[in-house]
Chain A
Amino acid sequence: MARRVPFVDGVVQLFATCLGDLVFPDAVGDAESLLRDAGFRVEFPERQVCCGQPAFNAGHHAAARRVARTFTKAFSRSAPVILPSGSCTTMVTHYLPALLGVEPYEVWELSAFLDRAGVELPRRNEGRTVAYHDSCHMLRELKVAEQPRRLLEQTGATLVPLPRADLCCGFGGTFSVRQPEISLSMADDKLGGARGAGAEALVTADPGCLMHLDGRVRKVGGVPVVHLATALARGIGGGA
């Protein structure tokens, strides 16, 4: 039985995020399973939409505000909000309160929360070699880097370090279509690094990085890219 976070009475709110809801629903399902198996009651506020980050990062504040308000209408402050996304967690924690003029919410990126809750994970990745990609938001804004690695190791995976792990994967939101050639070159460097390190899968906790790297792999081949929630819940064979 997992140890519960003392400040919570066992309830969490799950924010699928727009990419999770639309493109990676399996990963969101994995996130929900992990939280349930850890002993939490998971609420899924139906009115959730998107945190507004795509517009915000592109400089469109009015548009961002309009969409970000859906967050405040959907989520309450009575329980922590858990997101399977480092970049959306950063948006909601660091930028949304000032953007909307509201008090901050209690928001956690999934792996940071699970690690803090002291989960015990089944060993679904026994004997597998895995590389973990730190998304820039998680590395530099949330400073969550050890937790995903600890959780992956708990599942039996052997972690191999990526060369130049500090380098961005090249997604960067609209950057991926404003400077597509640079974006792809950066993806190729990241995927080449995973291959060179001998990884069977490249795991990331960010749907943006995932969509970009997985999209590249589907086009030109390479190491499969897997969401962290999937890697922890079902193992790296679970697909993107």
Chain B
Amino acid sequence: MSSKLSQPVGSFRVIARGKLGDERIQGVLDLSVTRLRDLRLDAWSGLEDVEALRERAHEIRMRVVDDLEGYLDQFQRSVERLGGHVHRAGTPEEAVALIVAICERRGAKLVAKSKSMATEEIGLNGALEAAGIRPVETDLGEYILQLGGEHPVHIVAPAIEKTKEQVAELFSAIEGRAVPAELEALTASARRQLREVFLTADVGVTGCNMAVAETGTVTLVTNEGNGRLVSSLPPCHVVVMGMERVVPTLDDLSVILRLLARSATGQKLSSYTTLITGPRREGETDGPEELHVVIIDNGRTNLLHGRYREMLACIRCGACLNVCPVFRKTGGAAYGPVYSGPMGAVLVPLYVGLGNAPDLPHASTLCGACTEACPVKIPLHELLLDLRRDLVQQGVSPRWERVAFTLWSLAWATPFGYRLSTALARLGQPLGALAGPGKLWAAGRAVPALAARRYRDRPRG
């Protein structure tokens, strides 16, 4: 289990409070998620039958979950047939050890990285640095965060909270001269800084949006082109993928691709959708000589057969983040350094154990907007409801809470108990705001007054 993802109890509320108090961040979050949501809705409406497509996508992903080892096996054989290498890693430690070994075998000093949540999960950058190898993020948002030593706060728009001024400050420090806080200047600066990295990196590391079992294909989806550069120029390409990111055939891939960019950013396809099938071939003048695919487990196998297996269908599009009313207020940091929003609230407790992220299933009003927005029809809010049940059944939820609900349910198990307890509550009303939930309620709202007479006690004509 990755402890990097753990969220100690209470941290969600503390971080959220900080974000709520920052007017600029509130404005940025509202603007960004509203825009991305509108773009998705527009793109979905342009599809002939989006419901049927979502249903097909769900079916494809669940078919994979039903025989994951079979498809991974097929994928591995396909890649190896083309001269690529496939490695399976159970834990983050195993994964980084494998990747560092590949880099060391090539005498690598510089690694160019294209955005990958899987590499965040395993803490790859830290491990490379510890081995004396310099990793550089090439996705613009990730690069900015790396310079500032920060974590991504949205799986598709990682630096959503940064200002132009903050970026200019970071870039000026690198270039050793003042870079103006204007988009064109910042873009040119990033292009300059990172062009060097693409051309001189010894190893390129990317994620993988979807692997195709029948052909051994790895799919990269970017808008910037850094995925293509990272997978084409360095002599060695390492792909890091979560083991569930596979589809059986190219036809299945086309269903997922038709939904992915539309759901993430409202585009029909991202600027660059790249299908990589093996290392460079005979006669080709560029492309990596070596291709390695590192497939990571890190808690995914545990989900294959249980109530939460549908969560493995996730294609990391971010649509759920963009409709979540809670994410809109808090941003991603409150959920943790890698996954956030509804998908993070489900996935992180499943990966690290409920005891290590007990706030997350309750970081939601169960409004259901996420389930409505998910292109592969994961019933996210129902999974959150089930996780809440698990919190109680695993004894993670605090004892006093379980005692309170038990007492309440015993009182309300009969009409007599209900009448007695509510009569007493009415007497004790003024005290309600002094402690516990009543106090938390009363800080911002008038405490609801129990009516002088219950409805049932009124004369009904």
Contacts and interface: CB of A to CB of B under 8 A. Distances in A.
Given A46-B456, A61-B392, A172 B437 contact: no
B368 A180 contact: no
A171 B325 CA distance: 11
Given A50-B418, A168-B365, A179 B444 contact: no
A206 interface: no
A149 interface: no
A216 B447 CA distance: 9
A20 B455 contact: yes
Nearest to B397: A59
A136 B453 CA distance: 29
A204 B103 CA distance: 61
Contacts of A50: 412, 418
Interface string A180-215: 111111110000000000000000000000011011
B448 A164 contact: no
B366 to A, nearest CB: 6
Interface residues of B, number: 64
Interface string B341-381: 00000000000000000010111111111011000000000
A5 interface: no
Contacts of A60: 392, 402, 405-406, 409
Contact of A184 (B366, B391, B402, B445): B445
Interface stretch (B10-18, B132-140, B217-225, B313-321): B10-18
A49 B16 CA distance: 36
A124 B392 CA distance: 48
Interface on chain B toward A: helix, strand, loop, or mixed SS? helix
A120 B428 CA distance: 43
B332 to A, nearest CB: 14
B424 interface: no
A199 to B, nearest CB: 20
A18 B455 CA distance: 10
A182 B402 CA distance: 24
Interface string A159-188: 000001011101111111111111111110
A57 interface: yes
B405 A55 contact: yes
B365 A170 contact: yes
B431 interface: no
Contacts of A59: 361, 385, 387-392, 397
Interface string B427-461: 00000000001001101111111110111101010
Interface residues of A, number: 67
A67 interface: yes
Contacts of A186: 325, 329, 365
Given A168-B369, A174-B362, A215 B385 contact: no
Contact of A58 (B364, B368, B405): B405
With most chain B CB atoms within 10 A of its CB, the pick from A60, A64, A70, A74 is A60
A221 B454 CA distance: 27
B68 interface: no
B447 A69 contact: no
Interface stretch (A22-30, A103-111, A125-133): A22-30
Contact of B367 (A52, A168, A215): A168
B271 interface: no
B456 A179 contact: no
A113 interface: no
B78 interface: no
Given A23-B451, A46-B415, A55-B409, A172 B445 contact: no
Interface on chain A toward B: helix, strand, loop, or mixed SS? helix
Nearest to A47: B415
Contacts of B453: 25
A8 interface: no
B410 interface: yes
Contacts of A173: 365-366
A170 B325 contact: yes
Contacts of B451: 22-26
B159 to A, nearest CB: 23
User: What are the 4 A-B residue pairs with the smallest beta carbon separation, nearest first?
Assistant: A172-B365, A59-B388, A215-B445, A63-B409
Interface of B: 12-13, 16-17, 20, 34, 323, 325-326, 328-330, 359, 361-369, 371-372, 385, 387-393, 397, 401-402, 405-406, 408-410, 412-415, 418, 422, 437, 440-441, 443-451, 453-456, 458, 460
Interface of A: 16, 18, 20-26, 28-29, 32, 44, 46-50, 52, 54-55, 57-64, 66-67, 69-70, 74, 136, 140-141, 164, 166-168, 170-187, 211-212, 214-216, 218-220
17 contacts: A29-B455, A50-B412, A58-B388, A59-B389, A60-B406, A60-B409, A63-B408, A63-B409, A67-B409, A67-B413, A74-B415, A136-B369, A166-B323, A177-B440, A178-B362, A181-B444, A214-B448
